[in-house]
A = this chain, B = another copy of it.
């Protein structure tokens, strides 16, 4: 293998695939980036066996050539060195030339690196997924759906399925659900395509989705989602993102969400979040973030928090609408605050079903999002 390529183009591609590479893998060759040069262009691959990212740099576009391929071939070079090396190369172009089976010379201007690597024949193959069952979304929408659910996954490995976000597809509607058993975040979206397409229990690891959302753009560019029983593939222009799926059965959450409340109110998203932020200044030390709320029929809402060491705080809010019974409840303020941060709407409605029962937070201007919370028992 021997290529000359624009440094900037190459650096961007290397940074994409390096996101998938982990130094903590137990498979040494996966600490490397695979580089394949053909007469069509250069393909880079990085993987930690949970996530794999493959990106392709074509020879050029209509305006200009990005590279010259003097000789086809492949290489695997150590990511921890390679990514930094190409980033710090001084010239506008760099050349990479294979040097024996497992090493390469990388040159730019007066700089010459000789870098050791691995045998490319040993690099694991990426799965080939059938292209039948797929749906297409704008990238910004998938990015929003991830942001609005992934914060609620569990970070405890005791119930592995809860470390992922569950995706269901039915009647041209995609629903993403995450829960750590104390709170639940649900976001749905409609898409165009095959009315017959139906999936349930597609559990994608939260970590994969966080990495994916760093790559997704904030615009209408499409992303194609290909689903199999063990893998999911997100296809973007010149970029493939594979993730394994989590084994197991995601809890059925539909009938957890109460439909009738005893106390319902509307509040400013921002004002409630600021009040919780202040109240948590005292409760964060106790690590449970317990906040007390007292809602009176006039729409007066009192937020309080007490710390034996520090003191106490009390704050008044006023609900825009208030219906139902007076209520006293205690909850984990951080869980509510996490949810409020991903609700882009100015006002939310909260529906309580009693001081010892779960309650629901929803934006007031659309019905594609639901957050569910358990109260906290105090004294």
User: A interface vs B, CB < 8 Å?
Assistant: 78, 81, 84-85, 88-90, 103, 110-116, 274-275, 277-278, 281-282, 309-317
Contacts and interface: CB of A to CB of B under 8 A. Distances in A.
A316 B310 CA distance: 62
A316 B109 CA distance: 9
B314 A112 contact: yes
Contact of A310 (B89, B111, B115, B310): B115
A162 B278 CA distance: 43
A125 B100 CA distance: 72
Contacts of A103: 311
A112 B315 contact: yes
A315 B81 contact: no
A280 to B, nearest CB: 10
Given A90-B274, A110-B316, A316-B110, A281 B311 contact: no
A311 B112 contact: no
- Number of copies of this chain that the complex holds: 2
Given A81-B282, A110-B316, A281-B81, A88 B274 contact: yes
Contact of A311 (B115, B282, B315, B316): B115
A103 B282 CA distance: 15
Most chain B CB within a 10 A radius of its CB, from A85, A111, A312, A317: A111
Contact of A116 (B90, B110, B277, B309): B309
A50 to B, nearest CB: 25
28 contacts: A78-B310, A81-B282, A81-B310, A81-B311, A84-B281, A85-B278, A85-B281, A88-B278, A88-B281, A90-B274, A110-B315, A110-B316, A110-B317, A111-B275, A111-B278, A111-B313, A111-B315, A112-B313, A112-B314, A112-B315, A113-B282, A113-B311, A113-B313, A114-B311, A114-B313, A115-B310, A116-B309, A116-B311
Contacts of A115: 310-311
